[in-house]
Amino acid sequence: MGRWRAFAPGAVMERHGDLDIRHDLDFHRRLFRVQRIGWAVLTLFILAALLGLIGAEGPLNSGAADNDELRLEFERFPHQESPTKIEVTLREPARRGERVELWVDATYLNAVNLEQVSPQPEEVIAGQGHFRYVFKTARPGDTFSVAMLFTPKSAGRLRGELRAGENGAPLRFRQFVYP
């Protein structure tokens, strides 16, 4: 333990004027500098939070992805065990008749706790590595939106893939879940 003394000058009681005190100005100078650095980091953190880099409301948190058939809006940085939602809009080419299908990959669905799909699907079919959500529409040709409400189970990267039915082009998106 004696060799640690080299890193702890001023760790001994010294006489300072009439005071017996463990006094070390160098320590305090370093501490003040560290504090200033800490304040800078705090400011950056608050800035990141305001911009949405850490999740919750903010411009950087609103993610969107689209292809010919689908448009997706999602939160880029959801929080673990906090509700978040993705909104999928099916555009014209995807509209085929009365029934609309949305295929969601199973890995994504297994990584989250799905709470609600609105509107409610008519049926949910388990396929190969995906789930098919089948919706009934009153007026084929209208734009159709599905909102899926869920809570991510754990922190880390989330990769999802959607497609509008069997021959739909895949739409991939990525999220990062903060703990």
Partner 1 sequence: METVLRVAAVYFFLLVIFHIAGKRSMTQITTFDFVVLLIISEATQQAMIRDDFSVTNAFIVIVSLIGLEITLTWLKQRFPVADRFIDGLPLVLVDNGRPLRQLMDKARIDEDDIMTAARSSQGLERMDQIKYAVLERSGGISIIPKQ
Quick one: tokens of 92? 């014209």
Of 141 and 179, the one with the shorter C-beta distance to partner 1 is 179
Q: Which stretch binds partner 1 (CB under 8 A): 10-18, 49-57, 116-124, 125-133?
A: 10-18
User: Which residues inside 55-94 make contact with partner 1, applying CB under 8 A?
Assistant: 81
**What residues contact 76, with CB distance under 8 A and at least 6 apart?**
52, 60, 61, 62, 63, 175, 176
Other C-beta atoms within 10 Å of 80: how many?
14
Residue 16, amino acid = H
Task: Name which of 42 and 125 has its Cβ closer to partner 1.
Answer: 42
Query: Which part of the chain contacts partner 1 (CB under 8 A), choosing from 1-9, 65-73, 119-127, 166-174?
Result: 1-9
> Which CB sits closer to partner 1, 16 or 99?
16
Q: Is 11 in the site for partner 1 (CB under 8 A)?
A: yes
157, 176 contact by CB (below 8 A): yes
Q: What are the residues whose beta carbons fall under 8 Å from the beta carbon of 14, sequence distance 6 or more?
A: 20, 21, 22, 23
# residues near partner 1 by CB under 8 A: 27
Given the rule CB under 8 A, which residues bind partner 1?
1, 4-5, 7-8, 10-11, 16-19, 21-24, 27-28, 31-32, 34-35, 38-39, 41-42, 81, 179
